[in-house]
Structure 1
Amino acid sequence: MYKVDLQADLKEAAAIEARRNREKERQSRIFNARHRTLGVDVEGLKSQVEQRKLREEAEKRRDEAFDADRVQYDKIAQMLEEEEQQRKKQLNQELLEFRQQKQHPSTRREWDIQDPAVVHKGPPARVSDDDPRCGPSSLQRFAGEDLNGVARQKRLKEQNKRDLEEQRAEREKAQADRKYADTLEDKKRIELDLRALELAGLEDECRRAKAMAIADFNRAQAAEVAEKQRLAQQREQDDNNTEIYNHLTSDILTENPDVAKSLVGPHRMVPYRWKGMTPEQLEAVRRTQKEQCKENQKLRGEQRQWEEEWDHQRHLAARAGMAMEEQEQDFRLQLRKGLDAYNRQLAEAQKANLRYLEKEVYSNAPTAHYHLQFNTSSR
């Protein structure tokens, strides 16, 4: 009996030891980051990371666009909600005033039943022998004798007439209230449409001013390029004319006066070769000087005109830029106000949620012993 128990203990100890060894091997594989991540496709992971970044940026831009639209829609919704609240408040105020002025409890048809002083106001149990309330047992009025039938029918008709008049008045009042509410709603819708049209007109005006400024700038640049090309062509034509003139006045066709120059120096002349300047040369010199003066005056005039045109274009561009900047500042200010209000509401909601989590949800804070139980097993 003792040997059998010993063999069972040894088998159980061997099984426990084997499980412990397998657990240690499993922990060494799982807790070893190098062995766990060995064989990962780094390039594939990088491409996935890049694709995720691109996707996140696209989603971020889309969320920003949606946020801008949402802010604008929230502003419009707040405006409509405020106007709806004002309209409901006005209608409730008018309804309360109508009830206080026209619908006193004493004017209701059921007031006879609800009147606390009905007993004091009612007739006595018996007025006379002809009292219609007296039955056959009173021996004052017998079956078939309707002595007050005509008066009773008259009172019933008058009562029905009053009831019909009151119902008609109530129906007309309800129709008037509905018509007034529809009129207010139509006016508010028209006002919102006019405001939207005004904003769209301002935006179109800014866009047109920007387009005009850009078009003026492009025209000025095109004119400048055309003028530069014209000046280049003029210079080329002058160079060609000069070249033609040089060929015509060269040594081949005319006598070269340079032969009279002395070899001693460029300012010395050979006396027996010098013939002096011809009248044509003097006239050519004077004509060239006059042409140079005219060309200089023309260039100065064109330069002055270009400077004036550029000053005018810069002034127009500056005015358009100032107008656009003012509108952009106004839009940013309104957007910032709306965003601040939304951030305040969000901060209050987050604070309230944090207080709820701290007081209600996370009331039992974990201790150090709670964190020590993690990463102790591979399971």
Structure 2
Amino acid sequence: MYKVQFPVDQSVETAVERRQAAEAARKTRIFNTRQRVMGLDLDALHKQTLEKKHSKEMERERDKDFDKLRLKHDQVLLQRDTEERKVREALHAGLTQYWNIQQRVEDSRDAGLKCGLRGVFGITIPAAELGPSSMQTFQGEDIGAAQRKREQMKQTARDLLAQRVQQERSCFEDKHRTSQLINELHERQGLTVCGSLQATEQAERLQESRRREERENLAEKWHTLTSTMMTEGWEAAVSQLQKGKPAATDMWKGISPEQLSAIYREREAQCMERQRWRDTEKNREAAWNSQLLKASGEARQEEKRTAELRRAKRIQADQFNKQLAKEQQAHQQYLDKDLYANKPTQEYFCQFNTTSR
């Protein structure tokens, strides 16, 4: 037998596919965040765009300001390096001039041997090898006084030169710091009048204190150079600018026995005070250790009690959960066996979905 092929009606399937395509297009239109226009706050978006542009502009301006500040700092550093180089050149020139004037070869002890053997016949026996019978050295003459005086003059000149260089460097640093303060004050003048006045007063007080400190330092240096401190006598240790303060007599020659005994007594008192402090620290450490041991024991006891209480609570919670499980199981058995014993028939399910949408 032959099977006849009848044409299949495709209208229903076409309609279903058309509805499915329309539903998919609708979902794509609704849930596509790039193409959806409904529900957007255009004012907020515009405001966010303006804020972003403003923030970018502020960052650009801040970067420009930072670049200017870096250039300014580089210029200041270059200027400072140039001035330091000039100071070093001046120092080297001064040292060279001092060597040429005060430390000439012609003025040395062996100049006779170095300068064309002109003093070869002036060689003498060293003073250490001469005895009383040579009638060349006598007790109390202080043979090395001239050499010691020359060394003291050289040391004084070196100290004065170092102080001068340090003073110039400190003056340069003060000028640089003062210029920075003045620049900061000029920048802050546009904010508030009160702030600018306070900043000006503070800068003036700072400059006045620095000038006063410089005057005191110069006076102290001048007193050191012109006083009898270089004689190494203990009376010269008392500074005229610091009256009433004890002098460091242990650093000077000619100390008296009373002062030496006072120093020894003070040192002994300091040693005893140090020993008492050590004993006190040892006792405090022992008390602290005992307190720590006691606290640790109490902490262990508390942890043990807490663990026991937690265990008791856990046992109680387990018993309560078991009781709840038994009650729930009994209730479920009651629902399954007693309450929901009747099964629904076919007529019960046929009463639903009897109408179309």
Do these two structures clear the TM 0.5 threshold for a shared fold by scoring above it? no
Larger relative contact order, structure 1 or 2 (CA cutoff 8 Å, min sep 6): 1
Pick the structure with greater CA Rg.
1
TM-score, normalised relative to structure 1 = 0.30
TM-score with structure 2 length normalisation?
Answer: 0.31
